[in-house]
Amino acid sequence: MFVVFDMIRRYFMHKGYDVRYVQNFTDIDDKIIQRGKVEEMDPLALGQKYIDEYYKDAKALNVLPATIHPKATEHIPEMIEIIQGLINTGLGYEVDGDVYFAVDHFPNYGKLSGRTLDDMKAGARVEVDERKHHPMDFALWKTAKPGEPAWESPWGMGRPGWHIECTAMSLKYLGAGFDIHGGGGDLVFPHHENEIAQTEGYLKGETFAHYWMHNAFLTINQEKMSKSLGNFFTTRELLVNSPGEVIRFYLLGTHYRSPLDFNDQNLIMAQKGLERLQTSVRLAQEALGREGALNNQRIGTELLNAAKEAREAFEKAMDDDFNSALAFAALFELAKTMNGYVQESPVPSEGLAEAQKTLVKLGEVLGFDLLHPAQVQVENEEMLSQVMEVVLQVRSRSRLKKDWEMSDFIRDALKDKGIIIEDTPQGARWQIKK
């Protein structure tokens, strides 16, 4: 979800929009309180701990910081004001210090998910609370329990419900009628449905958000990732063996509304795809730096046209519901065209420079730095460079003697160890496989 909406935000910025992006943190709710008990840690401190950890993962995935990162616990007064407003209009009611939203008093309840109250009631898996006016009524405020964080309110000490937190922060930082509300597909019901009901009820019918966007699930062997199924892993665990840019490339390789099935082979393919684009940029840069990088009008025009076509194909894909998968195809097509000309002599400098610039720019829109790939850190890099210089000299002598078997053996053996050798007209180059 975070990578998807970061991509969407970046594309709006690319198109010239002034984007105000709010990403809030729910730092108090039932699950955090329960987890705090398990870890024997104050719930508020636990919430801050995982907020800090989120920032680390977001940075690794090149997710830009939001314009504002509000926390629920910093907006309790705003929540209380909204809850009181709902009570005043008859949409909220208090029972023994708890406050509930009366869903049957809001005529459009279910409009986002397409469900009716009768359907919800028939399929409800919520605990029956005889104090509720309707089984689907949801909590706006919860009375304090011993040992839990609590705040003063007109209904006694307690804490807000999950849904009201997002309403308060959305209205404070974006106001009514903002453009896009996003989240994962699992939030459509009940969370986003409840947000709409309580917010538009409080606003007396005014539109909460104009567009609702939801990304599909990441699955494992066609099943939703979950701890109960034992197929759960974290970004941090993936980062041990894969750079964040590769994970991001993998996540954006499928349209955001299509389920993405994870396996190691697909991650490896994503890495190879990203490396292809990075290699095209690097080879173009090297070609442009060689002597004889002069204009060839015919080839230059072809490359200029290829760059133009790539920009048009990229924007057409992204304008059609942010189809990052098709946008990738435009990048690969441009890289393929560039690769066909990097060995030309003289190099078509103007066209190649424009094509390279376009590829780098479009990569940036999706959140990738194709010009400066992430470097793999190794111990004693100077010693490795000296050893590889000797290895390449040995391999070069084998090739001069037409001992192709030895030459290929050295190349393949190094590849197995994570070192890639690339033969070019200017000599062999090596790099560590990311």
Query: How does DSSP assign 163-230, residue by residue?
Result: HHHHHHHHHHHT-TTEEEEEEEGGGIIIIIHHHHHHHHHHTTT--SEEEEEEE--EEETTEE--TTTT
Using a 10 angstrom Cβ sphere, with 0-12 exposed, 13-18 middle and 19 or more buried, the burial of residue 405 is: exposed
Q: Which two tokens stand for residue 381?
A: 């890099």
pLDDT tens profile 380-411? 677 788 888 889 889 988 888 888 888 888 88
Give φ, ψ of 356 to 5 degrees: -65, -45
Give the bridge partners for 93, in sequence order. Answer: 100
Q: Which long-range contacts (CB under 8 A, 24 or more apart) does 289-293 make?
A: 290/347, 290/426, 292/345, 292/346, 292/347, 293/346, 293/347, 293/349
> Are 145 and 8 in a shared domain?
yes
Whether residue 248 lies inside any domain: the answer is yes
pLDDT tens profile 159-202? 999 999 999 999 999 999 999 999 999 999 999 999 999 999 99
Q: Which amino acid is residue 328, in one-letter code?
A: F
Query: Between the CA atoms of 95, 98, 101 and 103, what dihedral angle is there, to the nearest 10 degrees?
Result: -60
Give φ, ψ of 409 to 5 degrees: -60, -45
> Are 358 and 398 in a shared domain?
no
Q: How many structural domains comprise the chain? A: 3
Whether residue 224 lies inside any domain: the answer is no
- Among the three residues 340, 365, 390, which one is the final residue of a domain in this structure? 365
* Helix, strand, coil percentages, rounded to 5, for the chain: 50, 15, 35
**CB-CB contact of 178 with 147 (8 Å):** no
> Are 296 and 394 in a shared domain?
no
Whether residue 227 lies inside any domain: the answer is no
Whether residue 262 lies inside any domain: the answer is yes
Contacts of 312 (CB under 8 A, 6+ apart): none
Whether residue 373 lies inside any domain: the answer is no
Cβ atoms within 10 Å, residue 307: 24
Mean pLDDT by 10 residues, the chain (434 residues): 98 98 95 93 95 96 98 98 98 97 96 90 65 95 94 97 97 98 96 98 97 93 77 88 94 96 90 95 87 60 94 98 98 95 74 94 97 65 82 88 89 84 79 72
Whether residue 272 lies inside any domain: the answer is yes
> Are 88 and 169 in a shared domain?
yes
Q: Which amino acid is residue 221, in one-letter code?
A: N
> Are 321 and 396 in a shared domain?
no
Q: Which amino acid is residue 103, in one-letter code?
A: V
Q: Which two tokens stand for residue 354?
A: 């424009």
- Among the three residues 365, 397, 414, which one is the final residue of a domain in this structure? 365
> Are 158 and 43 in a shared domain?
yes
> Are 165 and 211 in a shared domain?
yes
Which residue bears the tokens 């299509």? 258
pLDDT of residue 324: 98
Whether residue 236 lies inside any domain: the answer is no
Q: Which two tokens stand for residue 201?
A: 């009820």
- Among the three residues 365, 394, 421, which one is the final residue of a domain in this structure? 365
> Are 350 and 387 in a shared domain?
no
Q: Please give the Cα distance from 139 to 163 (Å, whole number).
A: 8
Q: Which two tokens stand for residue 264?
A: 């190691």
Strand 158-160's sheet: what is its strand order?
Answer: 92-95, 98-101, 138-143, 158-160
Using a 10 angstrom Cβ sphere, with 0-12 exposed, 13-18 middle and 19 or more buried, the burial of residue 292 is: exposed
Closest of 134, 159, 126, 132 to residue 145, by C-alpha:
159
> Are 81 and 198 in a shared domain?
yes
pLDDT of residue 377: 47
> Are 52 and 121 in a shared domain?
yes
> Are 206 and 96 in a shared domain?
yes
Q: Please give the Cα distance from 94 to 161 (Å, whole number).
A: 13
**CB-CB contact of 415 with 430 (8 Å):** no
Here the CATH number for the domain that contains residue 162 is 3.40.50.620
Tell me if the bond preceding 190 is cis, omega within 30° of 0: yes
Q: Domain range spanning residue 280?
A: 244-365
* CA-derived radius of gyration, the chain: 28
> Are 405 and 351 in a shared domain?
no
Here the CATH number for the domain that contains residue 257 is 1.20.120.640
Q: Which two tokens stand for residue 298?
A: 């015919």
pTM: 0.84
Q: Please give the Cα distance from 161 to 176 (Å, whole number).
A: 20
> 227: annotated binding-site residue?
yes
pLDDT of residue 375: 57
SS (H, E, C) 22-77: ECCECCCCHHHHHHHHHHCCCHHHHHHHHHHHHHHHHHHCCCCCCCECCEHHHCHH
Whether residue 251 lies inside any domain: the answer is yes
